[in-house]
Structure 1
Amino acid sequence: MGLLEKIKENWFLMGIIVVILAARAEPSIGQKGGPLIPEITVKYLAVSIIFFNSGLSLKTEDLKSALLHVKLHCFVQLFTLTFVPCFVWVLIKFLSATDIDGWLLKGLQVVGCMPPPVSSAVILTKAVGGNEAAAIFNSAFGSFLGIIVTPLLLLVFMGSSSSVPFSSILSQLSMTVVVPVIAGQIVRQFIKEWLERTKPPFGQMGKGVLLLIIFCTFCDTFSNPSLQINHYSLIAIGVVVLMLQMFLLLLTFLASQLSFFGFSPADTVAIMFCSTHKSLTLGIPMLKIVFAGYDHLSLISIPLLVYHPTQILLGGVLVEYVRNWMLTAQKTRNKEGGGLSSITSTEA
């Protein structure tokens, strides 16, 4: 394979590195209030484009079948909103014996209580070629569920309570997730033949939008004044976040392949990303509401600021590996299925 082909094949991974370096060099461009106006272009426009794109590219029959995949939905929601918060609580009990800043550990618990994101899990599932319909459903449903469940989890694990403006968050989710998907499905009915004939590169377009989100996320991270904390705690929490994500990805990968569940390789891809990713878009506003008046709010926010770009970066690195595994697993299943059907027909 020539250099040009290799660059073309791995352009997304290279793009991630480029945008991170650009964000580090000039974070003011993509931070809130900067020239890119991410509070509009990313929070509303980019996320809406992602879900309109998904609605346009998804076959309606696939979405209908995804709604009925109850076992998969239960797995994802119970894992991300029950197992992860409990596991992080146990992990923090061990980490509290170290010299890591206590407020950063509280922030790690906050991360565990957060709902799945409304964009990155879908884009990564789409990039791999997994069950995108299931990823969309669980991202949207998990976000709506998180509006109610996350404040309750924070109350249980951290003793924080507050009135959360459910109506404003629900309306925001509706406008950036539900409406674009429905609009995409409606438009698809009019240009269905053209889409099937031309097969636009929806996956590449989604990756391009994700690069914008990564850039603005890192701009916010690098420009955040609360990152001026002792280097040991900051590095330690970064390592913990990375190890936590790798463990959760491995756990969901192994658990979702148990014959008891009956998930397909494409289902496993959606489960891996939807169950382990946490929402920064919902998380930061929710933190500001639930912990309003806390002097250490900025410190509590750091683990979530670290977790979000890490999950996108790690996901981007894993895309090619997970895709290769999925294609191989699907071929194996098809061969086994073909062999079984031929044996059955012979016996008949």
Structure 2
Amino acid sequence: MTGFYNRREMRAMLRRNWFLFGVLLAILFAEIFPSLGSTGGLLKPEWTAKYLSVGIIFFISGLSLRLDDLSGAAASFKVHLFIQIFTFVGVPIAVYLLCYLFLSTIGVNEWILKGLITVSCMPPPVSSAIILTKAIGGNEAAAVFNSVLGSFLGIIITPFSLLLFLGSSAMLSMVNSLVALSQTVIVPLVVGLLLRHFNIVASANSLPLSNIGQAVLLFIIYTTFCDAFLTHDSPMNATDILFSVILVVMLQLVFLYASFHMAQNSKWFSAADVVAITFCSTHKSLTLGIPILRILYSGYSHFSQITLPLLVYHPTQIMLGGLLVPPFKKWLYHSKAKIKTRP
């Protein structure tokens, strides 16, 4: 009988944390078969992960939302203001000061530090923050709105931020960026919203949209790690790589802690808002980041060193997000329970 209960508890734990186990399996599979999901590989992630997967995620978000919810999210200007200021002002300044301190005191590789500054100037991503917010039960509409808003702002703000902090011009082709953003974000989102609004897909609530979205995110994780595992041309030594990994993890933990507690201690935000704020404020876009880096430093002998922090940051934010889903769910549940029990 004890063995039966243990197996049942194990199955229940696997059901609750399947996404976290999926993340670990995706990383393991990427290490075993990296060429399958790498850029140019059989799965063609430069199209399937960058465009198709992101489009599916925003299509699902459109099906999951009502136009009233999204218009209500647009009115939550304090949430948007917090996220965008934290993303485009707070994070870059903090990272720049830290890199300046490291460069002047312990002489860390200058190009890795430039890569960290580049990462800090990136906009929020168009996938992971939304999926994690939805998986926890946070304010998904606010996460979607800020991902779209941040991507548009990033087209303009990110190049000027890099110009300010690095002294290099990084002007993107704004027309091409707007076209790509429309194809992967705006069109799928609008189609999903309209299908839901006009009841063409009337049973959207009965579909496992969250599970489908998380499965798509696992595919993005797998392809991301495939490229990371196949990057062997770096001229860096082991110390540089280890320092990059440790610093990226520590920075994300600090930013997650700071954004969560600043939002939690504010009277302006609900518990669901805090969840969206925590992930949207701290996650950075690999989709926009790689093109910027290629425009800035393509052909440079230090290109691998500059791209390393972004390659580390992207999977790290997904891994940390996956680890935080269960505790955030508990926190959100208890926060809502406290509100209901108040007189």
TM-score range normalised by the length of the shorter chain: over 0.9
Asked whether the 8 Å contact 1:100–1:232 carries over to 2, the reply is no
Structural mapping, 1:201-216, within 5 Å:
201-216=208-223
Offset from partner CA, 1:315-340 (integer Å, 9 cap, x none): 0010011111011111112222xx1x
Letter in 2 for 1:218: F
* Match status 1:329 vs 2:338: no
Match of 2:126 in 1: 118
Which residue is equivalent to 2:3?
none
Q: Which residue of 2 aligns with 1:186?
A: 194
CA distance in 1, matches of 2:62, 2:311: 29
Q: C-alpha distance in 1, partners of 2:174/2:307?
A: 21
Normalising by structure 2, what TM-score? Answer: 0.94
The 5-angstrom pairing of residues 194-343 of structure 1 reads: 194-196=203-205, 199-227=206-234, 229-260=236-267, 262-336=268-342, 339=343
SS at match of 1:2: helix
* C-alpha distance after superposition, 1:297-324 (max 9, x if no partner): 2211110000000000000010011111
Aligned to 1:344: none
Q: How far did residue 292 of structure 1 move?
A: 4.1
Provide Cα deviations, 1:155-210, integer angstroms capped at 9, x if missing partner: 111001044201001110011001101000111122354234xx211111111001
Deviation at residue 259 of structure 1 after TM alignment: 3.4
Tell me the amino acid that sits aligned with residue 221 of structure 1: A
Q: Which amino acid aligns with 1:76?
A: I
The separation in 1 between residues aligned to 2:229 and 2:115, in whole angstroms, is 18
Could you tell me whether the CA contact under 8 Å between 2:160 and 2:170 is conserved in 1?
Answer: no
Describe how 1:108-187 pairs up with structure 2 within 5 A: 108-187=116-195
Question: Which residue matches 2:4?
Answer: none
Question: C-alpha separation between the residues in 1 aligned to 2:324 and 2:73?
Answer: 24
Q: Check if 1:50 corresponds to 2:64.
A: no
- Corresponding residue for 1:346? none
Do residues 13 (structure 1) and 40 (structure 2) align? Answer: no
Q: Which residue identity is paired with 1:320?
A: P
Q: Residue 203 of structure 2: SS of its match in structure 1? A: helix
Say whether the 8 Å CA contact 2:27–2:222 is kept in structure 1: yes
Query: C-alpha distance in 2, partners of 1:209/1:276?
Result: 21
Q: 2:111 aligns with which of 88, 96, 103?
A: 103
Closer/same/farther in 2, CA of residues 141 and 124 from structure 1, 3 Å limit? same
| Correspondence for 2:85 | 78
The 8 Å contact of residues 140 and 276 in structure 2, kept in 1 or not, is answered as yes
The one of 44, 47, 50 equivalent to 1:40 is 47
Cα gap change, 1:274 to 1:131, in 2 (>3 Å) = same
TM-superposed CA distance for 1:9, in Å, is: 1.6
Structure 2, unaligned stretches of length 5 or more? 1-7
> CA shift at 1:24, angstroms?
1.0
Equivalent residues of 1:118, 1:177 under 8 A apart = yes
| Shift in Å, 1:125 | 0.5
User: Aligned partners of 2:114, 2:233: CA distance in 1, in Å?
Assistant: 15
* Alignment-mate amino acid for residue 169 of structure 1: S
Select between 287-296 and 20-29 the one with higher mean Cα deviation: 287-296
Q: Which runs of 5+ in 1 are unaligned?
A: 340-348
Following superposition, the deviation at residue 295 of structure 1 comes to 2.7
1:252 Cα offset (Å): 0.6
1:31 corresponds to which residue? 38
Q: Secondary structure at the match of 2:36?
A: coil
Is the alpha carbon distance of 1:328 and 1:284 closer, same or farther for their aligned partners in structure 2, counting shifts above 3 Å?
Answer: same
SS in 1 for 2:150: helix
Q: Secondary structure at the match of 1:190?
A: coil
Q: Which amino acid aligns with 1:249?
A: L
| TM-align CA RMSD | 1.3
Letter in 2 for 1:213: I
